[in-house]
Each structure stands twice: as structure tokens, then as C-alpha cells.
Amino acid sequence: MGSKEDPHLSNSEIGRYSRQMILPELGVQGQVKLKKGSVLIVGMGGLGCPASMFLAASGVGRLGLLDYDAVELSNLHRQVLHNESTIGLPKSQSAKAFISNLNSNVELDLFQEPFTCTNALDIVRRYDVVLDCTDNAATRYLLNDACIFAKRPLVSGSALRFEGQITTYNCQGGPCYRCLFPVPPPPEFVTNCSDGGVIGAVPGIIGTLQALETIKLLSDIGPSYVGKMLIFDGLQGTFTDVKIRSKQSSCAVCGDNPTITTLMDDYPTFCGSSFDDKDRHIKILKQLDRITPTEYETIAKSKTIPHVLIDVREPQELEICAIPDVSMNVPYSQMYSDKSMDTLKRFLKERSRLARVVQGSDSLHVYVVCRRGNDSQRAVRLLQEKFADLNLVIKDIEGGLHAWARDVDKSFPFSNKLHEFRIMFHLKLPALLPQKNVRSLKLFTPQLSRQIPERLKHIPNADDPPFFEMVEFFFHRACIVGEKRWMSTLNMGPKATEKDRESRSRGILRLLEPCAHLLEFSFPLKRDSGEFEIIQAYRAQHSHHRTPTKGGIRYSLDVNTDEVKALSALMTFKCSCVDVPFGGAKAGVKINPKEYSIDELEKITRRFALELSKKGFIGPGIDVPAPDMGTGEREMSWIADSYAKTLGYKDINSHACVTGKPINQGGIHGRTSATGRGVYHGIQNFINNPDYAQMVGLTPGLKGKTLIVQGFGNVGFHSARYLDRVGVKLIGVIEWDGAIANPQGINPVQLDEYKKLHGTILGFPGAKKFEGDLMLEPCDILIPAATEKSITKSNAVNIKAKIIGEAANGPVTPAADKILQDKKILVIPDLFLNAGGVTVSYFEWLKNLNHVSYGRLTFKYDYESNIHLLKSVEESLNRRFGTHADVLQKGPIQIQFSDASARRLGGASEKDIVHSGLEYTMERSAKNIMKVASEFNLGMDIRTAAYVHSVDKIYATVATAGHS
């Protein structure tokens, strides 16, 4: 099978391959295996060219080049081994000339005959690995079966438009092609690059990956794509791994009881298409429903038969060339739109009426043309079905524009720049037909031209973008993905045009961009020393689509207008993401709370509450603040008391003006740890999902995973505490004054106690001080729980975590987010992950409005009901077994309660209800986000999926309630 050459490496070969031989994964032995190896490449086109080039360059000993096609001018944009001087030569000969000049050590076998069932098995058996670089179904099934019978791995690639994919079949117990596709699709649903087009670089990338996979197979490094498929999206610049179906025991070729044991006699009949990739023609219409290009030319010139000529190619194809008399462009891809078909039907009815009035014809002839006569047949069949009630004669032009160029116009194609993104018609009627009857018709187009605003286009590459612009960018990116679907849900009545719907949709989304209200004020503070100081404060309300608005109050020197606007916007989307019916808000006071006494902090907080009250920025149904960085239960209690004694003195619900209060002031059990607990549940939902765990190379489940936390405040501590309980190992903690690490694990509870006692984590006996940037160290989970923009494009490239859980607000910039996705690092975004706090704040707000704690009215009843039920069970057991010897000897049967059962006898406590409600909220939201990611094919871009999920609900609310 391998090369006939001497397996030892010459000095020249060592010099040639030294740069790859120094890699420990390959080495000398790996290079020798490449030299001894042999590869069959079937198809010397866009995939086969780069694959063969890199295989030859890497030193594979023998290559088989199989292709019986000739080089054409249209090949050269992607088939890089060929050039203008080789046009007309067999592709295998052209490729041999290039490869021989590249590496004369490689032995080359040429196969210029068709690859069929009579020679396939004999050819495949001569090689160690086979590459499928074709784009037709018949050859794919033949190659698959031959590789199964010859026991050869098959590295399969494909490329179309901006997308490509690669997988390896029949290798290491993995599936074969038939395991995934037991039956070929109908030929009319198969598109190759000749039909659909392809960007030349895409097959270059996939072919190169095929070469790399083959090199790893031959050198025993091991394949990467067995049991999974790599999908490349060139338009978005993303690579996605997708788990594929495992080997099927029922497979007709490789299963436990195969029904196909030799190569089939006729693969083209089985697939409904030929082995020839170049001109694939389908035939789904009767000859009665078709006319030749010559017949159509006669009809067009006679001007006696009223007709419409419909070109069903895409508009960009129409710009390249078109028949001069084309009447209408209706892309086949739009013919499944009800809106398009309704408009087209009205148009054809009008043309039929004109044909009757002007020419006295009882029927209108409709002729359909495409490039090669495939889509036109599909379109005719669809139009005949949809418009059966109209008196139309609908036919396709056989062979399409290719046949037109061959039989009618030898100079075709020609450039036609007059055809734009619109649909025109030109009906063949006598000159007496008034010119006003010729008009333009615009069909429904579901595409939207929304783009990132010009002022935000720098954000994806900015190292330190403004926080509010970061949130705006993420919002607009979600709108690009979701607006088409949202617009389709608008209920505007039958008279609304598509322009009306788009205008309404844009209006709704524009309402969500700016901050609705921004309050900035200052007030004096007389300090304990007698000195006066001016305190600057802010409150932003982003959206009033739901009221009250909700958001925390932070005390920090970093507070500014941009930050509170950004955080209020983020809170809008956060509340929607977890189904909390609040608008978003945020407040900040520009102080360092560590520099003020308790009395001074109380003065600041109460004055701040008073200013909010005077401006109408606080109240149970208006705006409900909560704790944030630098604030806690104490400050919330002061605010509640100040409001109750001033503006809210008549309001029985006054204590609902703020959440995060102490329990004795109307607070709720579980609020302090809520954000951290939500972080734990959010990460748990994603890492327990096998698909997402596989994407980042982890096994499902949290047990045994390693964790680094940046910021060991309230959120960081509780996140680590809950994760520690389920077996996650905290190996490092980063704080403002330093970092500590212990590969054996750090006890978060002990560390928290040490920090409270000493004011720092440094010196903690259970870990050592870490010199350097701990955030860049390897770990399974990294939780940034400090401030925004801690991960930027400058350090994202060095992040080695598998999962990043955004416990802080905005810790990852858009530029860093893109880098992390490219590195296959799963980022669980802030608007979902740290929403535990606002979720439990919602529970507290409801408790305050109800004026009763959860469970209080049912504790006694639940307890007595449970005791009664258990006593009934005891009595039933004693009646049934009361005469048994053991029972008579030991006495009546008694049910003994375990400690856990005894604690639950009285029903759920407030804490139980809060924890249960939070867990359910995070689980439901995670599933909805995953569903959106799947629907829109977003892969690991969970942030965009979360924003789409969030904006979807806000959009529906505004659309229903109106714009005012």
C-alpha cells in the first residue's frame, strides 16, 4: 500500500521536513511513516488541490490523483494547482505537473478514467487513506462502500458558498457515510458549488484540514474528526464541532447484519444523479411541460402569444447575465414565502386580464428559466400546484441559460447592470397597449438590511470600549439575528405593507436603545471632622416597558454616567432574560465607602434616598433599588426607613421601595447569597449539557472540575461556596491586593472567615501567594466576579480556562468575546448568569406587597397533614401485618423519621421556596437560551442567544402595549 521508496530519510529530506520533524508529536518516526504512507485523492478540484499540495509538501510517499475532468477557466478561482496555461488539460495531469515541481520525492499515480463500481475497490485497496474531494452523491456512496470493503479510513470534505465541513468515516469504530445518510436525498434537493457557488478560500481551508487530518492518521498522531463534524462558517469566521450519529448496527454496509456486501451495480440510479460533477441535470417534469430555447425564441419573436418569462435565479446572478426579454425575476428561494406567492398571484391575474382584453387570449403562458434547467423545473411544479385555479400554461425552458447560449445566442452571457434588487416585467403586447400598464412590482423579501450603527463599528476591535457602548453593541448584534423573526410576529392588520411592518419594528427597537431617564445630582456632606465634601450621585432608568424599574446602588469611585447607563440597560435585558417583570435601572454614589465612618455613610445614604424621593425616582411601583458593590443590607434598611418617613409615610407598601433589606425589615431569606447561588446554577446547567461540555472538551458534571475566582466579595465567595459543595476544586483566588493559589484546593468558607478577620486574602494559611496573572492559568472554570472589562483583547488570547462564568457585569469586552469563542472557550454571559440577585429581589418585592412571609399561612396545616398521612400508613401496615410473629413479639409497626424527613414535615420554609424558585428560574432560562442558540445556529455564542431571548420578550411587550 505504501510508497516503494526507501523508508529511511535522506539528508535532503531531513533538511526539507525539519520544521515539522522537531514537533514532538511527529518526530523522525512520524516523518518516516508519512514517507511510507499512501493517499488516494478522489477529485482534483477545490478540495483536492490544497489537500494534495500539503500532503506532497509534508512528505507523503505516494499520492493517487483521480479525476477525469479537464481544467476550465471557471475552476481557477479555487483550484489552485491549475493555471491559465493548463486550461483544457486533464486535471490529474495539471496537478501532477505542479506537485512534481513542489516535491520530486513524491510518487504520483494518475487515474484519468471514470471512477465506477468496476474499478473502485481495486483502486482504493492500493492506498492507506482515501480523501473524498468530490461534490456529487453517487461518488460519495461509491467511495464510502469501497472504503468499508477495503477497510480504509475516508476523510470527507465539502464546501459550498461560504461554508465547509469535514469528518472522518470508517475509522476507529466510528460511523460510515451510510450510517448518517442511509438513503440519498432527492436529486432536486442536492446543491453543489456549480449550482450554489463557492468562495474560493473556503474549499482551500477545508482541503487543507483534510490534509492535516490525513497527516495525523498516517503518522499515528490520531484523527480529530471521528464521530464529529467540523463546520466552518466563512461569513461569520467561526468553526463549530458537532457530534454526529455513532456507528449504526442497522447500517446496510457496516452494520451487524449488512445487506450490501459488494459494490452496487448502479450508484447513479440509486442516487438519481450521475458521477459527473460538472453538469448535473434533473428531470422531474413531463416533456409536455417543457419547451426548448429555440421554441421560446420563436414565441418571443412572433409576439402573438401573450406570455411572461420568469427568471428564478438570485438577483446577483441576474446582474451577471440574463435573456434580454426577461419579464420578471422571482428567485426560487422566495417562492415558499406566502407573501411572495400572494403578490405574484395578483400580478399574474392582472396579466391574464390584460391578455384577454388586448389580445383576446383565454390563457396566459408562463415560461420559467434558470441557469441549467433544474430550479426552473422545481419552480414550474410549485407554480402549477399553487396556481391551479388560474388559467395559466406554465412551462420551463429546457436546459436553461446554458442551452440558450448553446442553441440561440453564441455570444451569451452578457453583463446586464440594469437589473437591480427588484423585480421587473415586460409583457409582450401590441403597441396600442397604454404605457401605464407597464410598472414595477416588488415582491416580499424577508431579508433586512440592519447593521451595527456606524458609531459602534469600532467596538468589536476596541481594547477599552465605553461600557454603555458595549451593551449597545451586544444589543444591535442580537437585533441583526432576531429582527426578522420578531417582525413576522407583528399584528398590524391586512392592510399593512411590508414597509409599514419594518418601520414599526425599527421604531420598537429604537425605543430600547437609549436610557429613558438619567438623574445626576450632588449634595453636601458634613464629615465627622467638620469638613464639608460634595457627594456626586446618579440614577439611570433604562426602560419602562415594565414597571417598576429595578437595579442596584453601588458605592465606588469608578461610578460615572456611562457606567450607570450601561448597567441599567444590562438590567433591562437581565430581567427579561429570567422572566422578572421589571424595567432596568442602576444607581451609583461616587465614594469609596472604606474612607467613611458608619455615621457618615448613613448621612450619605439617607440624603441620597431623599433626593431620589424628591425627583420621583423611588417607590414600590416606580423604581426599586437594591444592593450592589459597596452596599448591603444596612444601606437598604436606611433607604427603606428614609422613604417610609418621608414620601411613603402614607403608603402601606413603603418597605417594598427597596430590596436586599435585613430579614427584620422585610427582607427575604437567601437574598444575600442569591447572585452567587444563581452563578452556580447557571454554570451547572451548561456543564451538565453533554453538547456544551463536549464543545469545551470536558466531561458533563461539576465534580472534579477546577475553579479560579477573580474577586472574592459577596458574589465571588458564594459562587465558590456552592460550587465547592458539589466537588469543584477552588485552586485560586484573585483580589485587588494580590492573588493566592493552591492546586490541592482552597476552602472558600475558611478563606471568607480569614478575609473578614484580616481584611485581605493574603497570608491565608491554606494557600500561597501567586506571583503573576493568575487569571491566565489553566483551569476548567474561571469566574470574573469583580468589575467590568477585566478580560480584554490584550489578555483574552492567553486565557486557558474552558468555561468563563460572568458573575460580574460586563467583565468581557466584545473583542475579547470574539477571541474566546475562537479559542473554543464557553462564555456564559452576565445578563443570564448573575441574574440570581434580581430574581430573589423580585421574590422579596412580592413578599413585601403581600405583607406575609412565604409559607407562614401553610406551615401548621402542612405539618398536620403530613403527620396524619404517615399515621394512616402506620395503621394500614399494622392491620396488614399485625398478626405476623415478629410484629407480635416486637410490638406495633412505627414509622421512624430521618433527619431530612423530619425537617420537611412542616412543608417548605421561606428559604426552601426561594432556593427552589431560583433554581427553577435559572434552569428554565438556560434551556430557553440553548434553544435560541440552536434555532439560530449560534454555536458557542451564548451571549447573542441570551440577548435574542431577552429582546424577544421586550419586543413583544412593546409591540402589544404600543410605543407611547
Q: Which residues of 438-473 are buried (b: 16+ CB within 10 A; e: fewer)?
A: eeeeebebeeeebebeeebeebbebeebbbbbbbbb
Three-state SS for 518? strand
Residue 919 pLDDT greater than 90, yes or no:
yes
Range 134-140 average pLDDT: 84
Q: Is 161 exposed, middle or buried (0-12, 13-18, 19+ CB in 10 A)?
A: middle
Which one is predicted more confidently, 82 or 444?
82
Alpha carbon 333 to chain centroid, angstroms: 24
Please name the residues in contact with 565: beta carbons below 8 A apart, sequence gap of 6 or more.
468, 515, 518, 540, 542, 586
Give the residue carrying C-alpha cell 446586464: 416
Q: Name the residue with higher pLDDT: 430 or 843.
A: 843
Q: What is the pLDDT averaged over residues 529-545?
A: 94
Query: What does each C-alpha distance from 548 to 561, 572, 610, 665, 809 come to in angstroms?
Result: 21, 11, 18, 20, 21
Chain segment 382-396, per-residue pLDDT in tens:
898 888 888 889 999
Distance CA 828, CA 577 (A): 13
Q: At which residue does the C-alpha cell 472558600 appear? A: 748
* b/e sequence 336-346, b meaning 16+ C-beta within 10 Å: eeeebbebbee
Which DSSP letter does residue 208 get?
A: H
Beta bridge partners of 706: 729
Tell which wins on pLDDT, 452 or 782: 782
Average pLDDT over residues 827-845: 93
| Angstrom distance (rounded) from CA 772 to CA 124 | 55
Report how far residue 659's alpha carbon sits from residue 668's, in angstroms, rounded to the nearest whole number.
Answer: 9
Lowest mean pLDDT segment, chosen from 262-276, 301-315, 764-778, 938-952: 262-276
Task: Give the residue, 959 or 779, on which the prediction is more confident.
Answer: 779
pLDDT tens track for 104-128: 899 999 988 788 888 889 999 999 9
Across the range 133-160, mean pLDDT stands at 90
- Amino acid 141 reads Y
Higher pLDDT, 330 or 734: 734
User: Percent helix, strand, coil in the chain (nearest 5)?
Assistant: 45, 15, 40
pLDDT in tens, 611-626: 999 999 999 999 999 9
* pLDDT value of residue 358: 64
Q: What is the pLDDT of residue 422?
A: 27
- Give residue 194's identity as a one-letter amino acid code: S
Q: Which of 416, 228, 454 is nearest to 329 (CA)?
A: 416
Q: Which residues are known catalytic residues?
A: 193, 370
Element (H, E) at 702: none
pLDDT band at 1 (very low <50, low <70, confident <90, very high): low
pLDDT of residue 429: 30
C-alpha span between 166 and 428 (Å, rounded): 50
User: Alpha-carbon torsion 186, 188, 193, 199, what sign?
Assistant: negative
Question: Residue 404's pLDDT is what?
Answer: 86
- Residues 479-507: tens digit of each pLDDT: 988 888 888 788 777 777 778 888 888 88
Integer Cα distance of 381 and 188 in angstroms: 12
The whole-number pLDDT of residue 433 equals: 30
The secondary structure element, H or E, covering residue 226 is none
Unique residue bearing C-alpha cell 504520483? 108
Three-state SS annotation for 784-834: ECCCCCCECHHHHCCCCEEEEECCCCCCECHHHHHHHHHCCCEEECHHHHC
Q: State residue 504's pLDDT score.
A: 86
**Dist CA 387 CA 141 (whole Å):** 38
pLDDT band at 438 (very low <50, low <70, confident <90, very high): very low
Residue pLDDT, tens place only, 637-688: 999 999 999 988 888 999 999 999 999 988 998 888 899 999 999 999 999 9
**pLDDT for 186:** 58
pTM of the model: 0.56
HSE-CB at 851 with a 13 A cutoff on CA atoms is 4
Binding positions for ATP: 46, 67, 74-78, 91, 135-136
**Banded pLDDT at 448 (limits 50, 70, 90):** very low
Q: Is residue 964 over pLDDT 70?
A: no
Dihedral (Cα; 636, 641, 643, 646), 10-degree rounding: -160
Higher pLDDT, 507 or 449: 507
Q: Which residue has the higher pLDDT, 352 or 209?
A: 209
Look up cell 464529529; give the residue. Answer: 228
Pick from 117-121, 315-319, 765-769: least confident: 315-319
Is pLDDT at 884 greater than 90 in this prediction? no
| Better-scored residue on pLDDT, 948 or 872 | 948
Average pLDDT over residues 88-95: 88
Taking residues 583-602, what's their average pLDDT?
A: 94
> Rounded to the nearest 5 degrees, what angle is found at the Cα of 337, between the Cα atoms of 346 and 508?
105
Higher pLDDT, 600 or 312: 600
**Exposure of 247 by Cβ count < 10 A (0-12 exposed, 13-18 middle, 19+ buried)?**
middle
Contacting residues for 829 by C-beta, under 8 A, at least 6 apart: 806, 942, 943, 946, 947
- pLDDT at site 918: 92
User: CA gyration radius for the chain?
Assistant: 35
What percent of the chain has pLDDT above 90? 46
What is the C-alpha separation between 923 and 944, in angstroms, rounded?
18
Closest residue by Cα to residue 94 from 42, 44, 43: 44
- Confidence band for 445, pLDDT divided at 50, 70 and 90: very low
At CA 963, angle to CA 961 and CA 964, rounded to 5? 95
- Average pLDDT over all residues of the chain: 85
176-192 b/e (C-beta count within 10 Å ≥ 16 → b): bbbbeeeebeebbebeb
More confident residue, 808 or 317: 808
As a whole number of angstroms, the distance between CA 641 and CA 648 comes to 9
Residue range 189-201: average pLDDT?
Answer: 67
Tell me the pLDDT tens digit for each residue of 567-582.
999 999 999 999 999 9
Give helix 498-511 / helix 942-961 axis angle, nearest 10°. 110
The set of cell numbers assigned to 868 is 396524619
Helix axes 561-577, 467-488, angle to 10 degrees: 30
Higher pLDDT among residues 336 and 758, named by residue: 758
What's residue 181's pLDDT?
83
- DSSP of 559-590: --HHHHHHHHHHHHHHHHHTT---EEEEEEE-
600 vs 314: which has the higher pLDDT: 600
